Structure 1
């Protein structure tokens, strides 16, 4: 059986298409970060093979699954912190909640905090893998 040749750059480009379009130029392709595709990118995108398109759809699905997983971890993180805030006086901060956590909950906090506080969670995982370096109890919105 012949092996299918994939062009990773074409698959990545396809996976980065903003399928919701832009009102100012609905005929032009845009990246998910809002940048319009260059003419070279547009020319490359129209050469996509059915196999590359299927691989792009699989990549989009995997990214969506990962984002769903991160959202669930954020929900778990908030629930964990909230459980302890309910025991503390008004005006308490995350560090106060950490100070009264059980060892088990603190271990879960340590597992979740690098993930839920990363600016770009996918970039964080790509750069740091599953490391669980200790971060402060401050989260960024």
Structure 2
């Protein structure tokens, strides 16, 4: 059976900025770029199935972002637990040096997750240049 959902249309729907001030005149991506003519022409052909797929994707992205934010908060809370025991001006390596083994394991797990987004962003911006 052939899928009636076109990924390129779902992608356009998920990047559509419904809050852009000029949205009544033309569609914009969430990053501020206006849709090209080809994108606009494709966008107006979306099906109910593609709209449903886009909504599901947006909900998944929102859930993922909430989980990531919770992990980042847990990462900061873990560090603050140890910074409270250290003199003012201490740095992360000072906190890590006095961590209990189980907290250190959690620190390593959360550090990888909490910094992944920033690391990917850094790589995208600087490694290709």
Task: Indicate the TM-score class for this superposition, using the shorter chain for normalisation.
Answer: 0.7 to 0.9
**Number of aligned residue pairs:** 121
Stretch moving more, 43-52 or 14-23: 14-23
**TM-score, normalised on structure 1?**
0.79
| Aligned positions of 1:1-141 closer than 5 A | 4-23=3-22, 26-120=24-118
Question: Deviation digits for residues 86-125 of structure 1, max 9, x if unmatched?
Answer: 000010000000001111111111111122123457x58x
Question: Deviation digits for residues 67-99 of structure 1, max 9, x if unmatched?
Answer: 000110111011000000000001000000000
In the superposition, relative to structure 1, how do residues 120 and 40 fare at CA in structure 2: closer, same or farther (>3 Å)?
Answer: farther
In the superposition, relative to structure 1, how do residues 118 and 26 fare at CA in structure 2: closer, same or farther (>3 Å)?
Answer: farther
Which residue pairs with 1:127 in the alignment? none
Is there any run of 5+ residues in structure 2 with no aligned partner, and where? 122-129
